[in-house]
Structure 1
Amino acid sequence: MSEWLPVIIIGLVIGLVLGPVMWLKPNRRDRQLADLRSRAARAGITVQIQALPATAGRGTAAVYSHRWQDRKGLRVGWTLQRQRVAHELNFAGRWDWGSGPAAPKSAWHYLHQLLEKVPVNTYAVVATDVGLGIQWEESGGGQTFAQLLSALAEFGPLIEGAIRKPSPVRPVEN
């Protein structure tokens, strides 16, 4: 037994050293998220983690935002949230406004089109000072990611133009 004691001690020491190292090693899901977020950054998309809408439960999810070209004069601060049930009183089927203000009506046409193109695992569409964002589960692979990027690239500029406050008209001097 005394000759096995050093072997057991060495085994325990190796386990104590390798255990935490292996625990810190990113798993497959962490590597996928890092890859998605890196690809988003290369495409000019800002990624932020935000709390889920109340209708989606507790927790957080990433918001991928297409940055505004010119942030001045935009009416932002609105959120479209996926609801648990579709209802005719909602903005669009299962989508309705969050607790804040609604988007300007001039953007509603584009928002209806955007909602048809967002991935099925989308929780919310948000307009912040940063840009137009889509909060989603970050799942579904490359095709879903491409769908999200395409929707943001197509509708980001259109919605930006639609939510811009009209500039005041100055009288012409004679």
Structure 2
Amino acid sequence: MSEWLPVIIIGFAIALVLGPVMWLKPNQRDTRLANLRGRAAREGITVQIQALPPALDEGTAAVYYYRWSDRKRLQIGWALQRQRVEHELNFAGNWDWRNGRAAPRPAWKYLHQLVTSIPNDSCAIIATDIGLGVQWRESGGEQVFAKLSSALAEYTPLIEETIRKSSPIKLPED
């Protein structure tokens, strides 16, 4: 038994060193999300983690923001959130405004189209000073990200122009 004691001690020491190292190694899901978010960054999309809409339980999901080309004079601060049930009083199917604050009406046409263009596991469409964002649970991988990215690239400029406040007309002084 005494000849096995050094082997057991060395094995225990190796386990003590390798255990925490292996525990810190990212799992397959973390690696996939890091790659997805890295691709988004390369395409100019900002990613932030935010709380899910109240109707969709507790937790968080990533919001992929496509930046505005000119952030001046935009009517922002509104969000469309997925609801649990579809209702005719909602904006579109099971999508409705957060806190009753709606986007300017000229943007509604493009928002209806955007709702049908984004991934099925999207949770919200958000307009902030960063840009137009879609909260997404990040399932489906690269193909679904490509769908999201192209929808944001197509509709953000259109929505941006419809939510821009027009400059006040200055009357000449007499």
**What is the distance in 1 between the residues matched to 2:55 and 2:98?**
9
1:17-166 alignment, distance < 5 Å: 17-99=17-99, 101-166=101-166
Q: Which amino acid aligns with 2:16?
A: L
Calculate percent identity across the aligned residue pairs. 68
Match of 1:170 in 2: 170
Distance of 1:158 and 1:172 partners within structure 2 = 33
Q: Secondary structure at the match of 2:99?
A: coil
Q: Output the TM-score relative to the length of structure 1.
A: 0.96
Q: Deviations over 1:81-137 (max 9, x none)?
A: 111110001000010011262111111111000001010010100001100000001
For 2:4, the equivalent position in structure 1 comes to 4
TM-score normalised per structure 2: 0.96
Contact (CA 8 Å) 1:82, 1:123: kept in 2 or not?
A: yes
Q: 1: distance between equivalents of 2:151 and 2:64?
A: 11
Q: CA deviation at 1:173?
A: 7.0
Three-state SS of the structure 2 residue aligned to 1:99 is: helix
Query: 3-state DSSP class of the match of 2:96?
Result: strand
2:123 is paired with a residue of what secondary structure?
strand
Amino acid at match of 2:49: I
Question: 2: distance between equivalents of 1:17 and 1:170?
Answer: 73
Q: CA deviation at 1:169?
A: 1.2
- The Cα RMSD (Å) is 1.2
Q: Please report how far the alpha carbon of residue 171 of structure 1 lies from its aligned counterpart in structure 2 after TM superposition.
A: 2.6
Letter in 1 for 2:22: M
Contact 1:79 1:100 in 2 (8 A): no
Aligned residues: 174
CA-CA distance at 1:18 after TM superposition: 0.3
**Structure 1 counterpart of 2:160, one-letter code:** E
Greater mean deviation of Cα atoms: 23-32 or 95-104: 95-104
* Structure 1 gap ranges (5+): none
- Distance apart, 1:3 and its partner CA: 1.3
